[in-house]
Every structure is written in C-alpha cells, then in structure tokens.
C-alpha cells in the first residue's frame, strides 16, 4: 500500500487533518510506515484516543496491508511548538 493511499485514507477519516506519511529510518520495507497527523479534533484527547481515531480511519487495511504504522498526533498548536525530539533509550543487545 503506497504512502499516498495511506495519506488519503487518514485525511478521509480525520476531519481537517494535515497528514504526512513516511518510511521510518529503521524499517526499509514498504509496509512499515510512519505518519504525522495534525488536526484540531485532537484537542483534549489522550494519545490512545487520538491513535484510535487514526487506526479506525485505516480500518481493515491496518495489519492486512499495512503491517505497522508509527503515529505522531498533534493539534495545530502542539505541532507549532514541536521542538527537537529527545532520543529513546533502546539499549542494543550486544
């Protein structure tokens, strides 16, 4: 499933959404994707609820055609002051 299709699915399912779909660096294959979704409807919603809305927008495609999607969801205000994201402590097994 290509990125444009995923983008339009999310835009169709989430009101007034600005969506950018990307392939996360650590995954080269096509069906591990990432998406940044910015929409005012996320206001006062928890991360779990926001992600649920996006998962619902993707419906059956998720896990069938899209194996995994890494989501970052923001309201326009949150996205405006989004600064550098700190790295994550993934201790590599030797």
Partner 1 sequence: MHRPPEPDRPYEEVEAEVATVLDEHEVVLFMKGNELMPQCGYSRKALALIKHYRDEVEVVDVLEALPHYRKALKPHSGRETIPQAFVNGKFIGGGDILEQLHERDELADTLTPTP
> Which residues bind to partner 1, rule: CB under 8 A?
26-27, 47-48, 51-52, 55, 62-63, 68-72, 85-86, 88-91, 93
Q: Closest CB to partner 1 among 3 and 51?
A: 51
Strand partners, 68: 32
Minimum distance, C-beta of residue 93 to partner 1, in the bound complex (Å): 8
Phi and psi at 51, nearest 5°, equal -65, -35
Q: Which of 63, 56, 9 is nearest to 31 (CA)?
A: 63
Closer to partner 1 by CB, 7 or 62: give it: 62
In the complex, the smallest distance separating the C-beta of residue 48 from partner 1, rounded to whole angstroms, is 6
- In sign, the C-alpha dihedral spanning 85, 56, 6, 29 is positive
Q: What is the DSSP letter of 43?
A: T
Please say whether the beta carbons of 79 and 41 come within 8 A.
Answer: no
- Give me the least distance between CB of 68 and partner 1, in Å please: 6
- Shorter beta-carbon distance to partner 1: residue 7 or 58: 58
């Amino acid at each position: 499933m290509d990125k444009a299709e995923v983008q339009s699915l999310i835009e169709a399912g989430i009101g007034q959404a600005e969506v950018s779909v990307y392939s996360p660096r650590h995954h080269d294959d096509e069906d591990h994707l990432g998406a940044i979704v910015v929409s005012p409807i996320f206001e006062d919603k928890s991360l779990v609820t926001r992600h649920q809305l996006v998962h619902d927008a993707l419906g059956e495609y998720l896990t069938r055609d899209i194996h995994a999607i890494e989501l970052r969801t923001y309201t326009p205000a949150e996205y405006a002051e989004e600064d550098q994201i700190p790295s994550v402590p993934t201790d590599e097994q030797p």
